Amino acid sequence: MINPAHKGKMVVVEGSYAVAHSAKICRPNVISAYPITPQTHIVEDLSQFIADGEIPNCEYINVESEFSAISALVGASAVGARTYSATTSQGLLLMHEVLFNASGMRLPIIMTVANRAVGAPINIWNDHQDSIAQRDTGWIQLYVEDVQEASDTLPQLYKVAEDNEIMMPGMVCMDGFILSHVYEPVVLLEQELTDSFLPAFQPENVLDPEDPKTFGAFAAPDTYEEFRYLQEQAMQKALPKIEAAAKEFEEVFGRFHGGLVDGYKLDDAEIIVMSMGSILGTIKDVVDQYRARGEKIGVLKVRSFRPFPVEQVREAIKNAHAVVVLDKNISIGTNEGALFTETKSCLYNSKIRVPVMGYTVGHGGRDIRAESIAKVIEETKKAAKSGISVESQFLDLREELL
Partner 1 sequence: MSKPAPKTYITSGHSGCAGCCDAFAAKFTLMGAGPNCIVVNPTGCLEVMSTPFPLSSWQVPWIHSLFENAGAVASGVEAALKALGKKDDIKVVAIGGDGSTMDIGIRSLSGAFERGHDFTYVCMDNEAYMNTGIQRSSGTPFDASTTTTPPGKFSFGNQRPKKNMVAIMAAHGSPYVATTSIGYPRDMMRKVKKGTEIVGPTYIHAHAPCTTGWGFDTSKTLEVAKLAVETCLWPMYEMENGEITQVRKVKDPRPVEDYLRVQKRFKHLFTMEGGEEEIKKIQATADWNIKHFGLQ
**Interface ranges with partner 1 (CB under 8 A):** 29-30, 32, 57-59, 61-65, 67-69, 71-81, 83, 97-98, 101, 105, 207-209, 212-220, 223
218 or 348: CB nearest partner 1: 218
The CA distances from residue 60 to 16, 35, 63, 72, in Å, are: 17, 13, 9, 11
Instruction: Work out how close the CB of 94 gets to partner 1 at its nearest, in angstroms, rounded to a whole number.
Output: 11
Which one, of 393, 288, 9, 339, lies nearest residue 143 by Cα?
339
Question: Which residue lies nearer to partner 1 by CB, 207 or 310?
Answer: 207
List CB contacts of 132: < 8 A, sequence separation 6 or more.
Answer: 305, 329, 337, 338
Give the DSSP per-residue string, 12-27. Answer: EEEHHHHHHHHHHHT-
Closer residue to partner 1 in complex, CB, 69/269: 69
Q: How far is the CB of 30 from partner 1 (least distance, A)?
A: 5
Q: Considering the complex, state which of residue 209 and residue 333 has its C-beta at the smaller distance from partner 1.
A: 209
In the complex, least distance from residue 220 CB atom to partner 1, rounded to whole angstroms? 6
CB 396 to partner 1: min, Å: 40
Terminal CA-to-CA distance of the chain, rounded, Å?
Answer: 42
Q: Which is closer to partner 1, CB of 73 or CB of 279? A: 73
Task: Label the pairing between strands 11-14 and 59-62.
Answer: unpaired
In contact, 157 and 170? CB cutoff 8 Å: yes
Residue 169 identity = P
Q: What is d(CA 89, CA 106) in angstroms, rounded to the nearest whole number? A: 24
Instruction: Fill in the DSSP letter of residue 248.
Output: H
Q: Specify the residue, 225 or 248, whose C-beta has the smaller distance to partner 1.
A: 225
Rounded to a whole number of angstroms, the minimum distance from the CB of residue 125 to partner 1 is 28
CB of 263 to partner 1, least distance (A): 41
Q: Is the dihedral of CA 93, 95, 100, 103 positive or negative?
A: negative
